[in-house]
Structure 1
Amino acid sequence: MRVKLGKHGNSLGFVVPASVVREEALEAGQEYELTVAANGGFHLLPVERPVWRPDLSIDELLAGLPEGPLKYEDIPEYRPVGRELDW
């Protein structure tokens, strides 16, 4: 199947035909990893989405958070980069 590249802003792109969308179960909005093969071909693989766990309660989701407001000092990898210290 042939497709033609078109200009999309500063990038190039092509329309994925509806038959390919159906056959490969592609979804609009889904993220895909694009890799270039040694022969110049492309591979498009879906990025796995995190599994939604509706079975967790709000208490389970919030478990482990400290009581009271969080402070910058509570985040070990945080480094101020602007006016955060003026607050």
Structure 2
Amino acid sequence: MRIRVGKHGNSLGFVIPASVVRERGLEVGQEYELQLTSSGGLELLPVNQVIWKPDLSIDELLAGLPQEKLVYEDVPEYVPMGKELDW
């Protein structure tokens, strides 16, 4: 099935044919995630079916943290403001 991309304001868009809407159960107002496939295509998934795949494992994320408790002074360029001054 071929579709044509058109201009919609400052964006590009296309009309999803009614047959696809019925076949896939797409709904007006439902949020969808548009993802690129490894082959360069597009995939439209309902938000509740989106599977997030982190780039790093939990061990890699935690590897750079020090073992001891962090304090504000450890944060680069930290400038205390507000209620932190009374601590």
TM-score, with normalisation over the residues of structure 2?
A: 0.54
Q: State the AA in 2 paired with 1:3.
A: I
Q: Deviations over 1:7-61 (max 9, x none)?
A: 011110000000000000000110001101121101110012xxxxxxxxxxxxx
Q: Name the SS for the 2:45 alignment partner.
A: strand
Alignment of 1:68-87 (within 5 A): none
Q: Name the SS for the 1:16 alignment partner.
A: coil
Q: Deviations over 1:44-87 (max 9, x none)?
A: 10012xxxxxxxxxxxxxxxxxxxxxxxxxxxxxxx8xxxxxxx
Report the Cα distance in structure 2 between the residues aligned to 1:30 and 1:37, rounded to whole angstroms.
21
Uncovered stretches (5+) of structure 2, i.e. residues with no partner: 49-81, 83-87
TM-score, with normalisation over the residues of structure 1?
A: 0.54
Residue 29 (structure 2) aligns with: 29
Report the Cα distance in structure 1 between the residues aligned to 2:22 and 2:38, rounded to whole angstroms.
27
Uncovered stretches (5+) of structure 1, i.e. residues with no partner: 49-79, 81-87
Are 2:41 and 1:41 aligned? yes
